[in-house]
Amino acid sequence: MLRDGFGIPGFITRHQLLVHPDIPYTSHNSAMCFPADIDGTRIHALATFCSGLLGRECADGSDPGLCIAAVDRITNGEELIGFGRRAKSEILTKEEALFLASRLGVHLSEHGGTGDGVIGALAGVGLRLWGNDGRMRGALKGPQPGEFWRVRDLLEQADVEAVRSVAGDAIDENECVLIGEKPKTVMREGISVLLLSARRIGAAKAQWETLPKKLLREY
């Protein structure tokens, strides 16, 4: 994105929204979101670029939506966060999403299908703004499954800003961690956190391990 003058993005989060028979979706009804340092005068150009990208790359039969929010221009951040949190447990409408985006000064546009994708797009931005929802898209680049890492070394990874237990407690930097399949961070308190679960009592070498896929789904 830097070559187009749109700034440097941060890591991408995937936000799981409500799965319900009355909500059509292509795969998992989730939204992807990332922050970027963008010149305010380039937002229209960014929207044009992203619209073209969605038109070329979206899956057949999908209902893609695009939301771009300049954080310092949102007129009511708490209301946007509330919409995102509601989308995890309620069936919302496209009309509600478009009306809210217009009122809050947020770019929101539909790019095919029924246009209902704007609901998830707006919800994803609200959840990312909240900072307590979502997991990293893709796995950590350094640690590999089956390896043992010290917490202090994990904290040196570009995608890891904190290492905590599932209860939210900090873990001593000297503790050893068993890396499981596809280790990912989750967003907590606005930062990228690697959550660990305690291994069984008496486990050799490492007392902690990264969360398995089935537990990561909760985030």
Residue 219 or residue 170, greater confidence: 170
Q: How far is CA 16 from CA 12, 119, 164, in A?
A: 13, 13, 22
| Phi/psi of residue 40, nearest 5 degrees | -55, -25
Q: Count of alpha carbons within 13 Å of 122, Cβ hemisphere only? A: 32
**Residues 6+ away with beta carbon under 8 Å from 109:** 47, 51, 65, 66, 118
Helix (H) or strand (E) holding 109: strand 107-110
As a whole number, mean pLDDT of residues 53-82 equals: 89
Q: What one-character DSSP code corresponds to residue 21? A: T
Q: Tokens at residue 88, please? A: 């995890």
Report residue 5's pLDDT band, with 50, 70 and 90 as the boundaries. low
Nearest Cα neighbor of 126 from 134, 136, 115, 138 is 134
d(CA 125, CA 102): 14
Q: How far is CA 204 from CA 83, 171, 178, 209, in A?
A: 46, 18, 10, 12
pLDDT exceeds cutoff 60 at 2: no
For residue 151, the one-letter residue type is V
pLDDT exceeds cutoff 60 at 3: no
pLDDT at position 61 is 72
pLDDT at position 82 is 98
Report residue 208's pLDDT band, with 50, 70 and 90 as the boundaries. very high
pLDDT in tens, 82-117: 999 999 999 999 999 999 999 999 999 998 888 899
| Phi/psi of residue 54, nearest 5 degrees | -65, -40
Report residue 6's pLDDT band, with 50, 70 and 90 as the boundaries. low
pLDDT in tens, 8-51: 667 899 999 998 888 877 667 899 999 888 877 888 888 888 88
pLDDT at position 203 is 65
pLDDT at position 109 is 93
3-state secondary structure 49-80: HHHHHHHHHCCCCCCCEEEECCHHHCCCHHHH
Residue 44 or residue 78, greater confidence: 78
As a whole number, mean pLDDT of residues 56-72 equals: 86
As a whole number, mean pLDDT of residues 196-215 equals: 84
Q: Give the DSSP letter string of 153-219.
A: HHTTSTT-SEEEETTS-B--TT-EEE--SS---EEETTEEEEEEEEPPTT-SS-SEEEPPHHHHTT-
pLDDT at position 107 is 94
Q: Are 100 and 80 within 8 A, CB to CB?
A: yes
Maximum Cα–Cα distance across the chain: 58
d(CA 142, CA 154): 9
pLDDT exceeds cutoff 80 at 211: yes
pLDDT in tens, 155-187: 999 999 999 999 999 999 999 999 999 999 999
pLDDT in tens, 125-160: 999 999 999 999 988 989 999 999 999 999 999 999
Helix, coil or strand: residue 14: strand
